[in-house]
Amino acid sequence: MDPAVPRATLKAMGLCTLLVLLVAAVTAAVAVLLWRSEALEKLRGCRERAANESRALELCVAQLERERERLQSATREREREEDELRRELGRAREDGEKLSSSLQFCRQQEAMLGANVTALRDEVRALRREQAELSRRSTALQEELARGTERALGLQQRLEEAAEQRRALRARGERCEQRQRELEATLRDRAAELDALQRRSGPRTARRRCPPSRKS
């Protein structure tokens, strides 16, 4: 047998093996490039979804801020109403005290006139007329005092209702602040997830570039 034949055969087998290796390397490189393209597309989709969700959360936070400002404005208006009601209640109490003092004075006058009836028989009729007038004044004062008392009760009830509304507004404001804190925490979590995806995509991109360097 010619000695060149085995050498040619070995050379042909070596060339075939090298060709197979080159084909395998090219196939692997193409597969890696396709996988990288698909991964980048998925990452782009994740970033877009994260950006959309971030914009939606920002809009929700802005709406909550406007709602909180509106509630704070309503609370300040309620506080002004409460101050006005307190002033009215104070004036009503002062009026009641004045009426009570006037009524007490009238009763003292009536008691003094009653004590002097026996000594002032000649002035009985005049004193009786004066007593009747004082009685009418006392009745009028008592009626006015009753109206003032009813007004004070009405003002007290309005003050209690205003306090209840103020407590409800404060509770609603606290719920809005709690919701805002939850939304901010969600935003931070989404930002952390996006950073984690970006950090993971960095090493993967470096590993995908290795096969082409081996081919060269």
Domains of the chain (ranges, CATH numbers) = 4-215 (1.10.287)
Confidence of residue 127 (pLDDT cuts 50, 70, 90): low
Burial grade of 148 (CB within 10 A; 0-12, 13-18, 19 or more): buried
Tell me: pLDDT of 216 over 70: no
- Pull the structure tokens for residue 129: 């007329």
Contact 57, 186 (CB under 8 A): yes
This prediction has a pTM of 0.28
Nearest to 51, CA basis, from 62, 39, 43: 43
Residue 81 exposure: Cα atoms within 13 Å on the Cβ side: 17
Distance, CA of 196 to CA of 138 (rounded, Å): 86
Confidence of residue 47 (pLDDT cuts 50, 70, 90): confident
Mean per-residue pLDDT, 57-77: 87
